[in-house]
Amino acid sequence: MWTQVVGKVRLAFSPYMNHWWQVPLYVTARGLTTSPIPYEGETFEIVFDFIEHNLLIEKNDGTAKTLRLAPRSVAEFYAEGDGCAAFAGHRGEDLDDAGRDSKSDPVRPGPHPRLVRSRLRQPVLADPRFGGRDFKRIPRTLHRQGQPGAFFWGSFDLAVTRFSGRRAPEIPGADRITREGYSHEVSSVGWWPGDEMVKEPAFYSYAAPEPSDFPKRPFAPRRRPTIRDLSQFLLRYDDVRSAASPRQALLDFCQSTYEAAATLAKWNRAELEHNA
């Protein structure tokens, strides 16, 4: 919920990009960041530092403000964070919406330092920008149509999405966010820490629109069976962690699911890919 408040700031002030690429947060070695956000000729950035357990708001003029990630309700977090935003000179309707939506929210205990450090290692190891770690080598090929790893605060997952370049059929009854997010054919892989339906950290892969034979394809790693759920394939984080070669197990999962989606949907792979 706290990341959604910060995400609303990014959404309110970042110039629109296709597929909502102006919306997500990005993994850092210490937590999450909005990356620089432009505003009236200036720039500011909001950072979750899960090592020191602070929220940092920094401006390009050298000024900064810190909010401690201590127990508080989402409404209180919004109110104090909004004070930081006001310090940076920024307000917006989306920020007010975030505050109104959370006024009846109970007090949150705040992130437990040891647990956060443990959980932080999972997306950091998965993020493709961190050299020598799991997601860096996904895929073996470089794609002309693709999105770098991004942390989506709405669904709380780290995603790497590849596109065929072709428009996809419109999803009947889809809302504006979904309609734009899936306006083109995609193959997506990612990681998330678990939720009420998937109660443990897992890597996932899906294709949209999904080719008819996609669910029948055997995916690697073969000795670590995936779970078909929620129209996607899941590979448990613990299965990757305990594999003989965790990086290879994850790479094989991501590459094999991508190849199945791209081949079955008849993507022009020769045009989209080249050897890394």
Please write the tens of the pLDDT for every residue from 12-52: 888 888 888 889 999 888 889 999 998 878 899 999 998 88
Strand runs labelled E in the chain: 26-27, 31-33, 37-39, 42-49, 54-59, 64-68, 72-73, 107-108, 141-143, 146-152, 157-167, 184-192, 202-208, 227-229, 232-236, 273-275
Please write the tens of the pLDDT for every residue from 75-88: 788 777 766 666 56
Return the minimum-mean-pLDDT range out of 31-45, 198-212, 227-241.
227-241
Q: What is the pLDDT of residue 45?
A: 93
Spatial separation of the C-alpha atoms in residues 67 and 136, rounded to whole Å? 32
Nearest C-alpha neighbor of 264 from the set 219, 207, 226, 183: 207
DSSP class of residue 32 equals E
Spatial separation of the C-alpha atoms in residues 84 and 179, rounded to whole Å? 33
- What residues does each domain of the chain span? 2-111, 115-275
Backbone angles phi, psi at 208, to 5 degrees: -145, 125
Beta-carbon contacts of residue 151 (< 8 Å; ≥ 6 apart): 24, 25, 26, 27, 32, 123, 157, 158, 159
Q: Whole-prediction pTM value?
A: 0.80
pLDDT above 70 for 146: no
Instruction: State the pLDDT confidence band at 131, using cuts at 50, 70 and 90.
Output: very low
What would the two tokens of residue 4 be?
């959604």
Are 23 and 152 spatial neighbours (Cβ–Cβ below 8 Å)? yes
Return the minimum-mean-pLDDT range out of 68-72, 128-132, 166-170, 241-245.
128-132
Please write the tens of the pLDDT for every residue from 173-194: 999 989 998 999 999 988 888 8
pLDDT above 90 for 72: no
Burial class (CB in 10 A: 0-12, 13-18, 19+), 121: exposed
